[in-house]
Structures are given as structure tokens and as C-alpha cells.
Amino acid sequence: MKKLWAFALLLISASLHAQQIRIATEHISLVYRVNQHGRLIQQYLGSQLTPSGADTLIQNNQEAYITAGMESLLDPAIRAVHNDGNPSLELRYVSSTTTTNNGVNHTAITLKDPVYPFTVVLHFEAFYKDDIIKTWSEIKHTEKKPVKLTAYASAMLHLDANKYWLTQFHGDWAKEADLQEQYLTTGMKILDSKLAVRANMQQSPFFLLSLNQPSSEETGTVLAGTLAWTGNFKFGFEVDELNKLHINAGINPYASDYSLEPNETFTTPAFIFTLSDHGKGIASRNFHRWALANGVLDGYSPRLTLLNNWEATGMDFNEEKLTALFDETKKLGVDMFLLDDGWFANKYPRNADNAGLGDWEPNKTKLPHGLGYLVKEAEKAGVKFGIWLEPEMVNPKSELYTQHPDWILRLPNRDEHYYRNQMVLDLTNPAVQDFVFGVVDKTLTASPGIAYIKWDCNRMLTNAYSPYLKDKQSHLFIDYTRSLYKVLDRVRAKYPHLPIMLCSGGGGRTDFGALKYFTEFWPSDNTDGLDRIYIQYGYSHFFPANTISAHVTNWGKQSLKFRTDVAMMGKLGYDIKVSDFTPQELQFSQEAVKTYNRISDIVWYGNLYRLVSPYQENRAVFQYTSEDKTKSVIFSYLMNVGKNDQFNLVKLQGLDPAKKYRIKEINLFPGSNSRYHFNQVYSGDLLMKEGIQLLPGWASSLTSNILEITAE
């Protein structure tokens, strides 16, 4: 009997050891196997190999989801402290399942501790045509008392290359998404945020990782990854003593020990990544294609062009001023007028940023007839009406602050800390969730016809204490983000397709955790045309153009044409005093809006090629090409050109080599003629192999050109 039992155990062990699990897209393969100890091992991550199945011959032995307290010396993906105080966890393979829905393969791998009733399920969604893999984990247990989690990664990936180069997107207010690339040496490099509510204010939650050598747009192996989470995040890049790289991605566990109740499931946010063997350009296009269909609300729906009043009026306005701007909106030719900050509060009027925030009734002095009157007047003028909200925040000088001091995140025995003269509401409190939803719902129901919301969030979380969470303060950072999603779920249940801009003092919230609720985001308060080239260049690595709001303003010393050409690469808007335009500037802007409406489908949904980087030359060139390769638009910008600058021909991409194309400059300023002489048709093959000269005998700083390329 003992021999039979031993033989059965041997068969089970052999069966597990033979178990292999493949998560695959058209060009990417991620393979796991089970070793002789029942542990899940990442066997391969890379491009699809031929013949099929060749990746299973690679014999890596790194545990897929490393646990704390056992034998590994690496930074763990998960750490748990059990009821008896034992801080160890072992995870052994139990089972895996794969299902397919709408072309997406979902694989779930179940792992369990052999000693404690503790389970982790690793989830993977493989988007075959997009070459995107989305992965997250579920953590649960049935111990008698809560288990303390001190680490809970969404994913762990292991790579083996000669060298590694990490590109991060760092910055601050008005200088967001600045590229910084560095060679990774032995040890740990961490990209993280501890700012919670405005988590992305300095460090963006996405990265590029080049293997063996720095990648270019068209060459090199690069992994692009991001976390779908609107809160504290952490990416750990650990190069071990064998020169292997281990990526740990998930919620930042800083000050966030989590008490997991029996039978409760802790679901981590998704880590989303792609892998390209042909440079950063393909990685970006993979993300754009995936985001339009899966990552952004109504990705393939038209976006509204708009005129914002902020630069024209600030908070100093009344009904007469605003209704006059409706006529300017119509004259400009955009779809909508957006009323920004300053329209609300009566006891403490919102005339500056130090009062009124939280009191969301229209100011009777400025707007005696309310928002509904403005909506109707806008409709009479032939434009839509949008509104600015910042419902998660409060000024100390407000009725809300006085009436609900227990609704505010603040330390009970410290001086209050203000940023932009405001504080954060305790969204973990269900009553506050009801209030925030009510702000949105009341605004929309009281003034039917509001067509757009700009949802702002102008401060990070500091000096925070939740009266509602009481003895579970370490849950605050996690529960706040989850509570925000609860509110947004309610908003979207009632208003499923209302366009809403995700704004957070600029790029403080730029992630796919939030974008499933929003149609676009505000990448930066900095609208200087020159600076925006760099900012929009950075965001373009992960986000499609129709999500990147880009407004024409008076910021910067460039011409109106230059600033407009830059804004036309994203989701076009205006925040400018139209009445100050000269007749030629007004004519140019009106024609620019018409031109944008004509080419917007190519910009929004086409394939982006970053032909010349502003980090490498004193110019930048971008190309958007339709999926069928019949139309393309080139945006070319000269920056601060030096006398020794030499600019080569620019080779186009994404065209059909067999097609013939005609090139025409568009968006010209009235009274000017194109200095290009593209007076013939060109083969796609020639345009891609030989290129075109984008400097027709001149090179003047801060000038720009847009070229339209059409197949004949």
C-alpha cells in the first residue's frame, strides 16, 4: 500500500512538473511551468519563437510570484503575516484555466500555501492582435482572523539580457512626462509615488525597458509597462548577482499594511505591458490600439472641440461676459463652451482659490439665473455647454468645512496643511461618496443639457488621517482609490457616455485605472507650444492622441500658428480670448478648426510614428497614418535652431510602398503661401526609403508645418 501511495505521489509530481501554461499574443509569449516542488516558474518571456513550442525548451528556474519569508533573496511580490505571527508564505500550483471572450484569452492560475488556507490567483488577459498582456492577482484566505499583507504586487516579471536601460517619465507641475533614460546596474531601482490623490504629479506610472542596448523608435527590444491605478504605485527593477532583472509592479505598500479579513478578496490593479523587438514605436502603437478599444471610455467616439473661459476671464465673470463668449465660441467654430472654476458658492464666494470649494451651488451674484440659463443660452448660440468641478476637495473657508469637519482628511492633533488653499475630503466614508456623487448628479439634473465635465483634483494627500477608518489608517491610500472608483461607477451607471476630462492640476492623474471612466485627460497646465511638444511626446508613448487634451492659449512666445499646430496633434481645444484676435488670426483659427475636423480621424485613430525626437534634434516630426494607409498627416516643428544645426531628409513610415501619394501643406496662415514644392506624386517606397526634405531652403526657429499626404 505504501509503495502504491509513493508511486501515486510520484505520478502527481511528474504531472505537475510537466504542466506548462502559455499566455500568448500574436508576437509575444509568456510561458510558465511547474517545478518538482510544485512551484510556478516563469520559463520564458519574449517574442514568439519558431517552430511553435520552441519557448518551452528554455530552462529558466525563477519563481513566478516570489513570496516573503522563504528562501528567495529577491524583493518579494507578496508578504503575509498569519494569525500565529508566522511571516512566511509558500505558494504551490493547484490548477489553471483558460477561457476566450471576444478574442481575448483569460488565464487564471491558482496557487495555495500547503500549510495555511491562503490562496493567490494570478490572472492574465492576452489581447492577441494588440500584443498587450494585462495581469493582476487575487489574494484571499480562510484563516480564523485577519491576515496582515505588507506587500501585494500585481505582477512580477523576470528578464535575462546582457544589459538593461530604463526610461522613466518624470517631472513636476508644468513639466510633466519628461523622458529620463539610464543604464541599470546591480541592485534596486524604484519608481514610485506616495502622493495618493494626485499620485502622478512627479512620477508617471509607466516606463520603457530596453534590453541589451538602448532602443530607438524602430530598433531594439523594449518592454513597455503601466499600472492601471489612480493612486500610489511602485515599480521595482532589481538586477541580481547573475545580471538577471526582476520587475515588481503594483500598489506602493508604503504606509499601507492591509488587514485582510477571512474570505475577503484583495484584488490588485492590473499591470499592462507589451513587448516589441522592433523599437519603441511598435510598443506605443500596441498601446494606442488597445486603449482605443479597451482602456479608454468610448475610445472610438468623436471628441468635442471647445473654448474654455479661464484665460479670458479667470474667476472674474458674470452672465453677460459668459454669454458673449458663447458667440465667440460659435464664431471660432468649436463644438462647446467650457465654464471653468469660479462659478459657485455664496456665503464664501469663489472669487479666488481660497474660498468656496465644497459649496456647489451657483453663485447668485455672478449667475443670478443659474447654470440652466447658461446651458439654454449656449444652445441658442448653437454650441454645447460644459462645466468644471472639483468634488473631492474643500476649502477651509466654506460651509462644507464648517458643517462636516469629520469629512476631511487631516491629522487630529497637528496644524492643518494646505496646498492651493485646500484639503481633501475623506472619500473612504460612504457619506462622502454620496456627497461627491451628489455634486455631479445634482449639477447635471438641475441643468439638463450640460454636455461635458472637467473633473479636477488640485492637490496631493499630505498630513492625512481618516476619521472614518479609525484604527485602520494604513488602509487609507488603498481605500481612497477604491472609493473614487465606486463613485465613478455610480456616475457612469447613470451617465454612461457623458464626456468627462480627467484633470488633476495637469498630469496628476494619467493612468488606465481612471481612463476607463474618462474620455480624455489634461496632460499639463503648461500650454506653451514649445514645452508642449516635449510633454505630448512623452505621453504619446502610451496614450492615443484623442485622450491628450491640447489647448491653444497665450502661453509661450511662439506664433499662433505654431501653438495651433502643436494642439492639433491631440484633442484640440482653445483657452484664449478670441475677441483679441486680429481678423487674420480669427480667419486662421476658424480654418484650423475646419481642417482639424477633417483630419481628426487620422490623428485620433491612425498609427503614430515619432519620426524625429525633440530630445535628439532641435526639431520634432510626427506622422499619423490611417489604418488603410491611404492618408497621412505630418506635423513638423523647428524649435530653437542653432547656426550649426544640420537636418537630414526625413524618412516616412507606415505607407504602402506600392501606392502613389500626393503631398500638400495645410493649415497655412492667411496671406502666406507654402514654400514646399511637392508638385508631383511620390511612391510610398520612395517616401519611406529616401525621405523628404522638411526644410525647403530655410530653417527658422519656432516655425511649424503640417503636411497632408493622400494616396491617389
Q: Is the pLDDT of residue 11 over 90?
A: no
Residues 315 and 366: beta-carbon distance below 8 Å: no
The per-residue pLDDT of the chain, averaged, comes to 95
Rounded Cα distance between 506 and 174, Å, is: 7
- The pLDDT of residue 2 is 38
What's residue 58's pLDDT?
Answer: 79
Answer whether CATH 2.40.30.210 is correct for domain 608-711. no
Mean pLDDT of 295-321: 97
* More confidently predicted of 10 and 211: 211
Could you identify the residue written with the cell 520564458? 44
pLDDT score recorded for residue 391? 98
Q: Where are the domains of the chain?
A: 20-295, 608-711
Measured distance CA(68)–CA(76) in Å, rounded: 5
Alpha helices in 213-318 (DSSP H): 280-290, 310-313
Kindly report, residue by residue over 601-630, the tens digit of the pLDDT. Answer: 999 999 999 999 999 999 999 999 999 999
Beta strands 336-339 and 306-308, pairing class: parallel
Over residues 251-265, mean pLDDT: 98
20-295 homologous superfamily: alpha-galactosidase from lactobacil brevis (2.70.98.60)
Are 420 and 354 in contact by the 8 Å Cβ rule? The answer is no
How do residues 532-558 score in pLDDT, each as one tens digit? 999 999 999 999 999 999 999 999 999
Our answer to whether residue 525 is catalytic in this structure is yes
Confidence of residue 8 (pLDDT cuts 50, 70, 90): very low
Binding site per annotation, positions: 173, 340-341, 420, 454-458, 503, 525
Percentage of the chain with pLDDT > 90? 93
Please determine, for residue 203, whether its predicted confidence score (pLDDT) is greater than 60. Answer: yes
Do residues 174 and 525 touch, judged by C-beta distance below 8 A? yes
pLDDT of residue 53: 80
- In the chain, the N- to C-terminal Cα span, in Å, equals 81
pLDDT for res 51: 85
> In whole angstroms, what is the distance from residue 310 CA to residue 72 CA?
55
Rg (CA), the chain: 27
Helix (H/G/I), strand (E/B), else coil: 510: coil
Q: Sorting pLDDT into bands at 50, 70 and 90, what band is 393?
A: very high
> What percentage of the chain has pLDDT greater than the value 70?
97
> In terms of Cα–Cα distance, which of 705, 607, 689 is closest to 649?
689
How far is the C-alpha of 68 from the C-alpha of 51, rounded, in Å? Answer: 37
Instruction: Reply yes or no on whether the pLDDT at 15 is more than 60.
Output: no
In sequence order, the β-bridge partners of residue 550 are 572
The span from the CA of 366 to the CA of 364, in Å, is 6
Binding-site annotation: residue ranges for substrate: 173, 340-341, 420, 454-458, 503, 525
pLDDT at 3: 41
The 10s digit of each residue's pLDDT in 495-534 is 999 999 999 998 999 999 999 999 999 999 999 999 999 9
697 against 421, higher pLDDT = 421
pLDDT at 695: 86
Residues 6+ apart with CB under 8 A from 486: 433
Q: What is the DSSP letter of 49?
A: P
Integer Cα distance of 316 and 366 in angstroms:
9
Per-residue model confidence (pLDDT) at position 570: 98
Q: Which of 160, 441, 525, 645 is catalytic?
A: 525
In this model, does residue 568 exceed pLDDT 70? yes
Beta bridge partners of 42: 32, 62
Q: Mark whether 456 is an active-site residue.
A: yes
In angstroms, rounded to a whole number, what is the distance separating the alpha carbons of residues 126 and 102?
11
pLDDT, tens only, 329-353: 999 999 999 999 999 999 999 999 9
For residue 561, give the H/E element and its range.
helix 560-567
Give the pLDDT confidence of 660-679 residue by residue, as tens digits: 999 999 999 999 999 999 98
Q: Residue 14: its pLDDT value, please?
A: 39
* Range list of H helices, 358-451: 370-381, 399-403, 430-446
Q: According to the model, what pLDDT value does residue 60 have?
A: 82
Residue 51: cis peptide before it, omega within 30 degrees of 0: yes
Span 634-647, pLDDT tens digits: 999 999 998 888 89
Task: Taking residues 453-477, report their average pLDDT.
Answer: 97
User: Looking at 456, 479, 565, 575, which residue is catalytic?
Assistant: 456
The pTM assigned to this predicted structure is 0.96
pLDDT band of residue 18 (cuts 50, 70, 90) is low
